[in-house]
């Protein structure tokens, strides 16, 4: 039954992908330019995608097609995004040939001024013939190749246009994340340093905070507890650090939820952007393939635009080139 369902999903996704290429039907708002709402006053433009699951085995051709259409949409902007962020599960299994394939694919495009990668659980599943974990080394090697920036660790912090971007990742190969005391202490210091810039802080972690975005139910397992589908045991510690600061925006994937808004939340139990205490949590769909809930169409995610007084989250189907304004959000910044 599982195999049959996977085949059906693959076939439907393939048909939908072809529809975006040949169909003239207006699926959403394609009248708005592929530009910021206010280009002159936009201080930062981040395109965020997750769960590309790049692979060279069965299904890889479809993933490559979606990837091609998404990258071409990024290239179609007159002014490139300041950054493109991959929020985890970049590869389907963390194999070196999958990383190498992504590296060869992305060489064909110039999607943004900067590219940043965050590991997901699928990217951590790599071991050599002796059983030794090799995921960290592969990530650092191919992150350096793909981004053009030397990667010294698999969690790191940087700035984009002066705005802090902090990337967290799991240090084990389980479905839930594992954060060492060392990484949590590093994160605490990185947040303190970022806060001194007095600008919105963007935290990227493939795993959402436990019990957000419809979890644990939205994860889809029949047997679950309060940690299912989220960061796991260290979720409260990570969340507690972020709660100390204003204007913190967390970006995650992992759940394969479709996009949802306040109107669909009543039915689905979640929405794409949720206020969690003092912070805002954005959970984005899998860019490749099906999403389980909400608006599940492949190729959909968000562009984040930062202005003087607000951060705007704009939903877009990058595969077909349509904005989805009904799923947009605007957050007024705390002064």
Q: How would you class 263 by CB atoms within 10 Å of its CB: exposed for 0-12, middle for 13-18, buried for 19 or more? A: exposed
d(CA 185, CA 250) in angstroms, rounded, equals 18
Q: Which residues contact 156 (CB under 8 A, 6 or more apart)?
A: 166, 167
Terminal-residue alpha carbon distance, the chain: 54
Rounded (to 5) percent helix, strand, coil in the chain = 30, 20, 45
CB atoms within 10 A of CB 101: 18
216 preceded by a cis bond (ω within 30 of 0): yes
Q: Measured between alpha carbons, how far is 114 from 48 in angstroms, rounded to an integer?
A: 12
- Rounded CA gap, 28 and 323, in Å? 6
How far CA 28 is from CA of 109, 285, 287, in Å, comes to: 26, 18, 18
- pLDDT in the model for residue 13: 52
What pLDDT was estimated at residue 59?
A: 64
204 φ, ψ (degrees, to nearest 5):
-110, 125
CA distance 148 to 166: 18
pLDDT of residue 279: 98
Residues 6+ apart with CB under 8 A from 222: none
pLDDT confidence of residue 101:
95
| Cα 87 to Cα 294: distance, rounded to the nearest angstrom | 19
Query: In the block, which residue shows the tokens 């051709």?
Result: 61
Q: DSSP string spanning 193-226?
A: HHHTT-S-EEEE-SSPPTT-TTTTGGG--SS--T
State the DSSP H helix or E strand holding residue 147, giving kind and residue range, or none if neither: helix 135-147
**Token pair 């201080």 is at which residue?**
43
Indicate the SS3 state at residue 330.
strand
- The pTM (predicted TM-score) of the whole model is 0.90
Q: What pLDDT, on the 0 to 100 scale, is given for residue 24?
A: 39
pLDDT at 129: 67
Q: Which helix (H) or strand (E) holds 164?
A: strand 163-167
Supply the DSSP string of 106-128, one letter for each residue: HTT---BS-EEEE--GGGG--B-
Q: Tokens 């607000």 map to which residue?
A: 310
Q: What is the pLDDT along the chain (335 residues), one digit of tens a residue?
A: 444 444 544 555 555 555 554 443 345 566 678 899 999 999 999 999 999 999 987 667 888 888 999 999 999 988 899 999 999 999 999 999 999 999 999 999 999 999 999 999 999 998 876 667 788 999 999 999 999 998 889 999 999 999 999 999 999 988 899 999 999 999 999 999 999 999 999 999 999 999 999 999 888 877 788 889 999 999 999 999 999 999 999 999 999 999 999 999 988 889 999 999 999 999 999 998 778 888 878 899 999 999 999 999 999 999 989 999 999 999 999 98
Minimal CA–CA distance to 213: which of 175, 168, 251, 171? 251
DSSP characters over 240-274: HHHTTSSSEEEEE-SS-PPB--HHHHHHHS--SEE
DSSP class of 157:
E
Question: Which positions ≥6 away from 269 have C-beta within 8 Å?
Answer: 214, 217, 218
């Amino acid at each position: 039954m599982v195999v049959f369902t996977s085949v059906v999903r693959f076939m439907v996704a393939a048909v939908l992908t072809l529809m975006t290429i040949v169909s003239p039907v207006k699926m959403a708002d394609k009248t708005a330019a592929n530009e910021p709402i206010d280009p002159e006053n936009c201080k930062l433009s981040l395109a965020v995608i997750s769960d590309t699951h790049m692979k060279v085995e069965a299904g890889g051709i479809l993933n490559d097609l979606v990837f091609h259409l998404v990258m071409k949409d990024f290239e179609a902007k007159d002014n490139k995004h300041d950054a493109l962020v991959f929020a985890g599960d970049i590869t389907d299994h963390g194999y070196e040939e999958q990383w190498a394939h992504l590296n060869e694919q992305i060489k064909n495009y110039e999607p943004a001024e900067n590219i940043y990668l965050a590991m997901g659980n699928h990217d951590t599943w790599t071991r050599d013939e002796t059983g030794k974990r090799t995921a960290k080394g592969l990530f650092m090697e191919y992150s350096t190749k793909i981004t053009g920036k030397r990667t010294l660790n698999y969690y790191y912090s940087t700035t984009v246009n002066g705005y802090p971007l902090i990337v967290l990742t799991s240090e084990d190969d389980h479905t839930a994340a594992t954060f060492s005391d060392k990484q949590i202490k590093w994160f605490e210091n990185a947040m303190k340093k970022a806060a001194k810039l007095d600008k919105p802080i963007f935290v990227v972690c493939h795993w959402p905070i436990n019990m957000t975005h419809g979890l644990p139910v939205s994860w889809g397992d029949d047997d679950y507890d309060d940690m299912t589908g989220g960061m796991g045991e260290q979720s409260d510690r990570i969340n507690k650090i972020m709660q100390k600061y204003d204007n913190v925006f967390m970006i995650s994937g992992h759940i394969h939820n479709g996009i949802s808004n306040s109107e669909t939340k009543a039915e689905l139990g979640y929405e794409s952007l949720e206020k969690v205490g003092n912070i805002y949590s954005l959970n984005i769909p899998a860019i490749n393939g099906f999403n389980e809930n909400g608006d599940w169409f492949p190729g959909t995610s968000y562009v984040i635009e930062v202005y003087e007084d607000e951060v705007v989250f704009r939903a877009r189907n990058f595969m077909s080139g349509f904005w989805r304004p009904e799923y947009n959000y605007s957050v007024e910044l705390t002064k």
